[in-house]
Each structure stands twice: as C-alpha cells, then as structure tokens.
Structure 1
Amino acid sequence: MKKVGIGLLGLGTVGKGVANIINNPNDRHPLVGELELVGVAVRNLQKKRDIIIPDSILTTNPIEIVTNPNIQIIVEVMGGIEPAKSLIIQAIRAGKSVVTANKAVIARHGEEISNEAKAAGVYVLIEAAVGGGIPIIEPVKQSLGGNQITKVSGIINGTTNYILSRMDKEGVDYADVLKDAQELGYAESDPAADVEGSDAADKIAILSGLAFGGSINRSNIPTTGINHLEAVDVNYARKLGYGIKLLAISEKDKSPSKTEGSQPLSIWVEPTLVPEDNPLAGVNGVNNAILVEGNPIGQVMFFGPGAGSGPTASAVVADILNIAGIQSMSEDNIFNLDPLLSAMSWRNCHVAEKKQITKKNYIRLIANDSPGVIGEIGTIFGKKKISIESIVQFDVTDEEAEIVVITHKIQQGQLEEALLEIKNLSQVKRIAATMGCL
C-alpha cells in the first residue's frame, strides 16, 4: 500500500509527540506503519531538539509543507490564530485534509474552515483540540449521534483543575499554587488563557457546535476564570459540602427563542460549587472530565488526561488514522466525505444572553454584624422571586460578618437586580464573591 504523506506544522511539545508515534510504529495499529513524515515546518533550523528528525525534511517555510504534492494530510500543531488559520485554509484549498489541535482557531473560525473543507471535499479533524487524550469529539459526532443532546458540561482545563485541587486539599492560596504550576510546567509563563477561562470557553464553543448542530459565536460566551478566587470561598464551599471546579457548561435553553428558527443555548464558563457526591467532584489534578446528557443515553462521562505531549499526540494520530484509513481504500485519494466524520452543521444556534442563564448561585457578602441584616437580605431576594436554599453566617467578629447565600435555580437577570439592591443596603459593605453552584 502506498504510504500516506504527513506534513507537520510545528515541532513543539505536541509536534514531537506526533513525530515519535509516526517514527515508532511497532506494536501500534498497522496503519501507523503506513504513515510517512514527509515535511516539518519549524521556526529555527539550528535549534537543538531531543528528537531525531532528518534535516532534509525540516523547513522554516510552512508554505512548502502545505503545497508539497507528496503530502496528503497536514497536521497543524503550531498554535495561535495566525498564521495557523491561513495555513489551514491554504492546505484545504490545495486538496489536503487537515488535523489540528488548535482550539482557538476552531472556536473562532470553525464555520469558515468547515465550509472550505466541504467545498474542497476534504476533512478537518479536531479531536486533540478538546480534552487532550480523551476521545470526546468523535463520540459526540458519531457514537452519540442518535441522541437528543440536552447538556454538555465538565472540567476541560487541566491547569485550573490542578490549581483548584491543591487549594481545596491543602488550603493554599491561588498565587502560591499558580507559581508551583508554572514551575512544574502545568501553567504557561503567561497563564491568562487558562486562569481567566478563555481556553475553557474555546473548548465548550467547539463541543456545543458539535453536540447541538450549529455554529457558536465564541465571543458571546460569558466567561469568568479563577484568577480572582479567594481561598476563603474554597474553605466555605468545603464546609457546605462542595468543592470548587472551573466548569464549562452548555445546555438547551428552555425559554422561547427570540431568533426564529434558531436553537437558543445557555453556555458559560465559571468557577462552580460542585456537590461532593457529583462525579465531577472527584476529578483532580490535571485531569479533565466531560459529562454528556441526552435522550435516550442518559448521562455518560469521559475522563482522562486533558493535556500534555503524549495524550494530545495520541488524539492527533487517531485523527490521522481516521483519514488515512479512508484514503488508503480509495483510488488516487479520491473519496466521498463521510457525513459523520466530517460533522457538518444542520441547524442554526445562538448563545443566550447572560441574564437569561438559569442556575443555582453562591453569593458571599461582607456585612455589619447587626440585628436584622440577614432578614433584609432575605426580603430583597423574596421581592425578586428568588428562592434561597441556604443562608449561613461565617466568621463573625465584633464589627462584621460574612454571609453566604446559596439560591435555587434562577435567571441571572433576577440575581443582578437583587444584588444591586443588596449592595445599597447600609449594613452591607460589599459583595465579595458570586459563582455558580450545581
């Protein structure tokens, strides 16, 4: 059988992992042995690398890779928006299928890229863009395709999960754990994409589009990270029987759609209190877990390592094999697109406004320790038709107390109105924290 030529854009952590698998096919699926690394684009030819790659296939010009007639599949693992997006489109227009781990590009430009691939009759596969080594993209597209998906939620950023796990188990402050995470290589020197929630928002945008069948406007997803989370809230959550996880959640909005013919979706990323008996509560360290709920499947959870060279490279090569298997069975690499593998959209979707999102909430207030303050807070919630699950007073001093409220499910517009009035109470010094609660 003719070898399938692979062109690699990027030779960083993931790129090296992919090259290692292709160059060492023993004891793997036989199709791995039919892959050939034909060209690799790198930034610096002189850089010392802990991987053996022939100098003859290295280049600093990625255009040489995407236009090479001996390459059938382009693997983009360089990261960033540009030039990655432009190179993906150029490769598609050159008649090459693409495998990418680039969640930022797919979350923002997935519809454009999908349309280009459809017009060119090639595949763009993205298993490695979400969940590292966890098989989640193809199961949502194929294995669960017969279900009416109602909700996708989970822990999809390993860096923040590592930080939150240690804050919970060891009682250490956010800044100290972040420093450790950077030293261990779990967090970048600039951790903003992880700790501010952007990475998780990219991933839930991708999953939402696949699960609910339509393109998602990434910029409309309300996103709150863990960078302002205080250890006191982790402590209070534990006392109340919860852990805190950065969750990405996407579910069908039951409210009437304001956009005719479009499926409204409530999608958000936020630190969230998770009950101790919830399956997500036991997901610690850099692991990820994704819950998919639907009819008739019920609830299924996908768990595993969410990042790193090995897990992500595993997902990349799985996509390569999916494409290579089809191409190797066809004459002259001409094939009809498998609609499940290519996962074309079938409906319009839109992200509901933040104030329409319905969920439980955790609120921590700093107030004067004076008679009647809890009653006044309760009165305002009642006036806004907000049902309270619990209200607890913590750490009372001579001058002030910390009051923690957990609401039942309410629309966030109601909560915003109530908190505005509560903030104006003379006894309330400030609203210290708000976050979601399962």
Structure 2
Amino acid sequence: MALLGCGVVGSEVVRLLNGQAADLAARVGAPLELAGIAVRRPDRVRPGVDPALVTTDAQALVTRDDVDLVVEVIGGIEPARSLLLEAMKTGKSVITANKALLAEDGVTLFAAAREYGADLYYEASVAGAIPLLRPLRESLVGDHVHRVLGIVNGTTNYILDQMDTHGAGFNDALEEAQALGYAEADPTADVEGFDAAAKAAILAQLAFHTPVTAADVHREGITEVTAADVAGAKEMDSVVKLLAICERVPAEDGRNGGRGVSVRVYPAMIPRSHPLASVREAYNAVFVEAESAGPLMFYGAGAGGAPTASAILGDLVAVARNLVGGSRGPVEVTYAELPVLPMGETITRYYVQLDVADRSGVLAAVAEEFARQEVSIQAVRQEGLGEDAQLVVVTHRAPDAALSATVERLRKLDIVREVASVMRVEGEETP
C-alpha cells in the first residue's frame, strides 16, 4: 500500500500499522505492507516513520506495480484528485479522508471506481471515528432514508457549548478552542460552516442517492451567534447548535422518490430534551431517520489524528479483505438525480426577538407582518422595559423565504427599535 501525506493523521496511520501489524494481518488474511509515503517536505523529522519509505514523487508512487491500494490524507482538491484518479485508472483501490474533494467532485471519483473496478472507501471523511457512512452505504441500502440531522463539526460544537454552559463570548470560546487544538489558527472553515457543508453534501449523496456538492448546500456559520441568541435559547429551554440537515422533501402526489432534497447547515435552537442538545465539547452526533429502521443515532469523537486514523484503518481492513478475496465493495450510484431545493423553499421555524416601543398596538402591528407572509405564530412573549419592550415570537413551520421576508419587513417598522435575534428552530419533530 501507498500513503499520500504524513501529517497528524498520516503519522497516526503509520503508528497503527506498525503497532498492530500482526492483528491486522490476521483480520485481513494477509500482511499489510507499506510500500512508500509521499510527502512535500522529506527532511521533516517524523518519529516512527522509516525515512527509506519517504518520497516526494507521489505520481510515481501511486502507479508502482507493487502498490495495490492507496491511502490519501493530504487533503485539498489538487493534486489529490489527479493522484486518486490515476491510482484507480491503474487498478488500485483507494481510501481517502478528503471531505473537500468528495464534496466537490465525488461523482467523478465514484464514476472512476465503477469504470476501473476499484474500491473507493471514505469513512474518515465525515465524523471521524464514528461509523456513519458505512451504515448508510451498506446497512441501510435497502431502506428509505428520510432525514439526516446532526452535529458534524467539533470546533463549532465546543465553542457553542462554552457559550451555553459557561457564558463565554464567541471570541473567548474560539481562543480556548484554538489553545486546546480543536480549532486551527485560521478557523474560517469551521466557524463559517464550510467544513460542515462539505460533510452535509457527502451525507446527502449517500442518503438520497443523488449528486450533491458543497456548492448546493445552504451554509451559515456561527460567527453571528450572540449572547442574546444563547440567552433566548435558554429561556425556551433550548440550546444553540450548528446543525447539518439533509432531508428528502416529499412530493405532493406522495411519490416515494420525493420532490427533491434540502441540504443546509446553520446554527439553530433545539430543545434541551433532544439527544443532540446533550452533545458536549468537541463531540459529534448524527441522527439518521429511515422508513423501516426508524431513528438511529451515531455518537463519538468527530475529529483528531487518532479517531480519523481509526476510521481509515477500518476502511483499510475492508478494502484489503476485498483484494484478498477477489471481490469489491459497494459503489455509489447517484441514480435518483433529485434536485437540490433552494433554501427559500425549505420549511423551517423561526425564533425572533425584537426590541420594540412599549405602547399599544405594537403586538398587532408585528402580528400583521407575519400574517402578510402567511406565517403562523406559535407563541408570543412580551416584557416591558420602561419606554421599550422586548417581544419574542416563535413561528410554526413555513417556507424559509416567507420567514425571511417577514423579518426584513419587521426591520423597517418604526415601532421596532432592533431585531435583536433571529434563529431557526429545529429538532422538535425528532424523538
């Protein structure tokens, strides 16, 4: 086998291969031998890594005759895509943890695996060590998945957890996450939702057998989450989480395929009674709701060198067994071709907190704006604050476009001093 990349995850893969060589050989039925490791900086000291295996010529490594499978942990789009395609073209099976590549061009990789008869495994690309993708690919392949809902980014979950449990501000919580190694020096991919969006695209492809890219995913990060949002959630006995949501939107005529799929990532309030509300610190958890299996929950460490390497080793054993047995694993087929619906058509609920003038007629004027967009109000709470008042409105489910339009109209009312908090509400329909 060949290893592309030897950073935090790659080094851990090497350590596990060396430390568990006998056990892995017994599980596979043949020894797993590392033929080479492609890196960009060959002079870097890598404890536990045989320098004789290190090379900078990744292209030559993936096409060597003595290599029959390739593990990629370098990340990014290129050269990872070209190297993996070249490996499969020469009959080699591939294991990757590259969520960005799978979310941008997974369809091309799946097509290459089918064309060249190669295995393509990628359990480590979503939720670290949590066995999530293989159940979607194999265990639930005979079922009809309706919805996937979860926390798939440990950095943002840690930040939001600190804001909720300790009253920390966003910046302080982010700095603590960086100090603990949960967040990168540049946390943009995490806090702006790019990481979660890539994972949501992968989950949607698997769950609904339809092509979805990261560009199709509606994405909002957590940088705008305020103390008022967190406090408002507490008043509703809820907590704020960054959620990845993939759901099949039913057709009006009841067709089993559905009208399309909705894939989105944003911070939302969920009831504290919901199991996802108890997911603390940097952990991940994902609900999968299927027609026959019902709701299933997957929980565990979602990032880090050791958890990610564990997922890679699981794939490695599965692929190696296939090679020894002369078989191959499942290949994704995006036969459904369901459209990804725009966010405006997604049915959601809103929590809206307004600072308003404390005088008669205010509630009626606010309610009228909701009625104009045909948005039903579920609950209202008003508290006087001298000449001003705080008004909290929680809506029933409605098209997101209608809810967004209502908020924009509210901002223009003379009686509204400020729209202090706007957040979607999720999770009440899940056990």
Pairwise TM-score range, normalised by the shorter structure? over 0.9
Q: Distance in 2 between matches of 1:365 and 1:8?
A: 55
Out of 278, 281, 288, the position equivalent to 2:277 is 281
Q: Which residue of 2 is the match for residue 203 of structure 1? A: 199
Q: Distance in 1 between matches of 2:105 and 2:15?
A: 30
For 1:66 and 1:262, the matched residues in 2 are separated by 41
2:260 to 250, 256, 264: 264
> Residue 229 of structure 2: which of 214, 219, 233 is its match?
233
2:30 paired with 1:8: no
Aligned equivalent of 1:3: none
C-alpha contact 2:197 2:214 (8 A) present in aligned 1: yes
Q: 1:329 to 1:255 in 2, by over 3 A?
A: closer
Q: Is residue 262–residue 348 contact of structure 1 (8 Å, CA) maintained in 2?
A: no
TM-score by length of structure 2 reads: 0.94
262 and 392 in structure 1: CA distance in 2 versus 1, 3 angstrom threshold:
closer
Q: Check if 1:383 corresponds to 2:372.
A: yes
Contact 2:161 2:281 in 1 (8 A): yes
1:120-269 equivalence runs, <5 A: 120-255=116-251, 263-269=259-265
Equivalent runs, 1:11-160 vs 2, <5 Å: 11-25=6-20, 28-29=23-24, 30-31=26-27, 34-49=31-46, 51-160=47-156
Q: Distance in 1 between matches of 2:367 and 2:349?
A: 16
* Deviation of 1:268 (Å): 0.8
Say which SS state the counterpart of residue 266 (structure 2) adopts: strand
1:234–1:244 CA contact under 8 A, matched in 2: yes
Give the deviation of 1:383 after TM superposition: 2.9
Contact 1:171–1:235 (CA<8 Å) still a contact in 2? no
* 5+ residue gaps, structure 2: 427-431
Aligned to 1:408: 396
Letter in 1 for 2:240: I
2:429 alignment partner in structure 1 = none
Aligned counterpart, 1:371: 360
> Contact (CA 8 Å) 1:125, 1:342: kept in 2 or not?
no
Q: How high is the TM-score relative to the length of structure 1?
A: 0.92
In the alignment, which of 333, 342, 350 is matched to residue 353 of structure 1? 342
Q: Runs in 1 of length 4+ with deviation above 6 angstroms?
A: none
Aligned runs of 1:292-307 on 2, under 5 Å? 292-307=288-303
Query: What SS is found at the alignment partner of 2:218?
Result: coil
What CA distance in whole angstroms lies between the structure 2 residues aligned with 1:382 and 1:209? 37
Post-superposition shift, 1:27? Answer: 7.3
Shift of 1:290: 0.6
Change beyond 3 A, Cα 1:299–1:408: same
Q: Secondary structure at the match of 2:190?
A: helix
Deviations 1:320-376 (A, max 9, x none): 11110011123xxxx4x44xx223222112210111000111222232333322221
**Contact kept in structure 2, 1:201 and 1:221, CA below 8 Å:** yes
For 2:42 and 2:354, locate their aligned partners in 1 and report how far apart those are by CA, in whole Å.
57
Letter in 1 for 2:131: P
Q: How many angstroms does 1:126 deviate by?
A: 0.7
Q: Comparing 58-67 with 133-142, which one deviates more in the overlay?
A: 58-67
Q: 1:377 corresponds to which letter in structure 2?
A: V
Conserved 8 A contact 2:105-2:213: no
Deviations 1:145-193 (A, max 9, x none): 1211110110000000011111100011000000111111100011111
2 CA distance for matches of 1:428 and 1:22?
62
Shift of 1:44: 1.1
- Measure the CA separation in 2 of the matches of 1:180 and 1:251: 34
Give structure 1 stretches of 5+ with no counterpart: 1-5
Q: Secondary structure at the match of 1:346?
A: coil
SS at structure 2 position matched to 1:36: coil
Separation in 2 of the partners of 1:88 and 1:204? 22
CA distance in 1, matches of 2:379, 2:251: 26
Aligned residues: 421
Determine helix, strand or coil for the equivalent of 2:141. coil
